[in-house]
Structure formats: structure tokens, C-alpha cells
């Protein structure tokens, strides 16, 4: 039976921001230097990834690819066959990559898999426990597995706050940015959801208009601020009814940005 690695990370970055991407590449090189094998499947074009990584350390890149300790794949391939039940490992690109990485050396400390879970958000499979997945795969291949989930900031900001909170809870709110690792307290964030929701409204509409919106929610739907953490998905729906989907999406984006900042600092 395989043990999980001691850390579990997510990263919320701007995929179009070169500085953010380089921060992830530096993490890849750090893990390689620490004795891990890496499977990198965050971006659509693996060949373009190699060109960009070469700017950081072409020697280590070429050596790692050559000896098999670094496997770079196109993002869609990392998920091929993953959601079939049961998983057909013979057709699963991730499984093939794991086997390749495992055969590099019997002395590797484990395998780190960098993925972009945008497809999970699109299909709703974000509800799957990442740690359960890592444990499942780790047992299947008898090697420690850790998955680093690299979320695109633009995609995250487009979510409803209730979905983002589920994602953060799934990942135990252990988040890396491009420079360092931060650990936040889930209970602390959950207790502040009502305040963060209110601040998001103020960010978009100002204080007076926000108070009016809350009064409207209270009069029409019997919703008050204290109910937000317990009925967030319902509050979101009623807010869309009250101010329209476009305006509500602007508020949700502002709330999500505050939630992310709360988790990173």
C-alpha cells in the first residue's frame, strides 16, 4: 500500500501571466531537485511548455526529460479515461505516464502530478475528493502520489462562491502561490463568509446600494446576513433573481477574489 506525500497543494494563478507560469515551473524544478518524478499536464501544448521551461534551466530540463523523471503532456491527455467507471488503465494516459515515471528509479521519493482541473469544473467532477483520488492512484501503482491542482484565476473568478468554497474545502485550504506556501484555517474563512459576501456587494455597488439589496433579499425571500454561510447557494440564486445574472456574476467575482486573498494571506 502506498502512503500519500505529506503535503497537498492547489495553485490559483493567471494562466496568461508569464510570471505566474514561471512560478509553477520553478516549483517543478524544486521538486525534481528534491528527488521526485514529475508529470506536468497543466497547459494545452506540451511542446510550448518545454520551450518556456528551457528559459529557466535548459540543462536540467533536457536531462530530466531524457532520464524520464520529467514527463510533460498536453492537458487533455492527463484526463483521458479518468472518468470511466471502472477506470480502463490500459487507455489512461495519466496511468501510462505514472508507469513511465515509476520506472525511472526505484529510489524516487514519489510522483508529483501537476494538473489544470478546468475540465473538472466544466463536468462537475470537482466534487471528487482529490486526496481520495491520489490515494486510489497511489495504491494502484504502489507509489506515493501528490497532485498539485493549478486553477486558472479567470475560471475561478467566474464560479459561484458556493462552488469555490467547496473546492477550497476539498483541498483543505492548502494553497500555493508563485512564491510560497500558505496554510489557512477553514473554520476562520467559513465564519467570515457573510462579511466577505457583503464586502463583495460593496465592491460593486457601494455601501448604500448594498444595504438596499440586502433589504430586498430580506423582504422578498426572508434572507438575512446571518443565513449566508448556511444557505449560500440559495442566497446566490435569490441575488440573481433580484439584480439579474450579469450584475450577480460581477458580485460573485468580487467575492471570489476576496475569498482567494483570504486564503493566500
Distance CA 204, CA 28 (A): 38
pLDDT of residue 185: 47
Q: Picking from 14-18, 96-100, 129-133, which range would have the lowest pLDDT averaged per residue?
A: 129-133
Please tell me the predicted confidence (pLDDT) of residue 174: 44
What is the pLDDT, as a whole number, of residue 210? 95
Mean pLDDT of 156-180: 68
With beta carbons less than 8 A apart as the criterion, state whether 265 and 185 touch: no
| Whether 13 contacts 20, CB under 8 Å | yes
What pLDDT is attached to residue 175? Answer: 41
Model confidence pTM above 0.85: no
Q: How high is the pLDDT of residue 225?
A: 83
Q: Convert the pLDDT of each residue in 243-262 to its tens digit.
A: 999 999 999 999 999 988 88
Q: For residue 86, say if its preceding peptide bond is cis, omega within 30 degrees of 0.
A: yes
Buried b (16+ CB within 10 A) or exposed e, 89-100: beebbbbbbbee
pLDDT of 76: 78
Q: Which residue has the higher pLDDT, 129 or 168?
A: 168
Give the model confidence (pLDDT) of 170-201 as tens digits: 665 444 443 334 445 456 676 789 999 999 99
Q: Does residue 263 register a pLDDT over 50?
A: yes
Task: Please compute the mean of the pLDDT values over residues 69-84 and round it to a whole number.
Answer: 72
Highest mean pLDDT among 93-97, 120-124, 134-138: 93-97
Quick one: how far is CA 246 from the chain centroid?
Answer: 25
> Mean pLDDT over residues 24-53, rounded?
93
Q: Which of 59-73, 76-90, 251-265 has the lowest mean pLDDT?
A: 76-90
Sheet architecture: strand order including 181-183: 70-72, 37-41, 111-115, 145-152, 10-13, 174-176, 181-183
Amino acid at each position: 500500500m502506498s502512503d500519500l506525500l505529506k503535503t497537498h497543494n492547489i495553485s490559483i494563478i493567471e494562466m496568461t501571466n508569464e510570471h505566474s507560469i514561471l512560478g509553477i515551473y520553478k516549483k517543478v524544478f524544486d521538486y525534481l531537485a528534491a528527488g521526485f518524478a514529475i508529470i506536468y499536464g497543466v497547459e494545452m501544448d506540451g511542446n510550448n511548455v518545454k520551450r518556456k521551461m528551457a528559459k529557466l534551466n535548459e540543462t536540467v530540463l533536457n536531462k530530466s526529460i531524457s532520464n524520464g523523471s520529467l514527463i510533460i503532456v498536453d492537458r487533455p491527455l492527463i484526463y483521458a479515461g479518468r472518468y470511466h467507471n471502472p477506470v480502463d488503465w490500459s487507455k489512461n494516459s495519466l496511468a501510462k505516464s505514472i508507469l513511465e515515471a515509476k520506472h525511472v528509479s526505484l529510489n524516487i521519493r514519489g510522483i508529483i502530478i501537476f494538473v489544470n482541473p478546468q475540465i473538472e469544473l466544466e463536468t462537475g467532477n470537482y466534487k471528487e475528493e482529490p486526496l481520495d483520488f491520489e490515494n486510489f492512484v497511489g495504491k494502484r501503482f504502489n507509489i506515493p502520489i501528490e497532485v498539485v491542482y493549478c486553477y486558472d484565476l479567470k475560471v475561478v473568478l467566474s464560479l459561484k462562491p458556493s462552488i469555490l468554497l467547496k473546492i477550497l474545502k476539498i483541498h483543505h485550504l492548502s494553497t500555493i502561490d508563485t512564491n510560497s506556501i500558505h496554510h489557512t484555517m477553514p473554520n476562520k474563512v467559513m465564519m467570515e463568509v457573510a462579511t466577505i459576501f457583503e464586502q463583495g456587494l460593496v465592491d460593486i455597488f457601494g455601501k448604500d446600494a448594498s444595504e438596499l439589496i440586502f433589504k430586498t433579499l430580506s423582504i422578498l425571500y426572508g434572507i438575512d446576513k446571518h443565513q449566508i454561510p448556511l444557505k449560500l447557494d440559495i442566497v446566490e440564486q435569490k441575488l440573481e433573481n433580484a439584480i439579474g445574472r450579469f450584475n450577480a456574476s460581477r458580485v460573485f467575482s468580487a467575492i471570489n477574489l476576496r475569498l482567494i486573498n483570504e486564503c493566500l494571506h
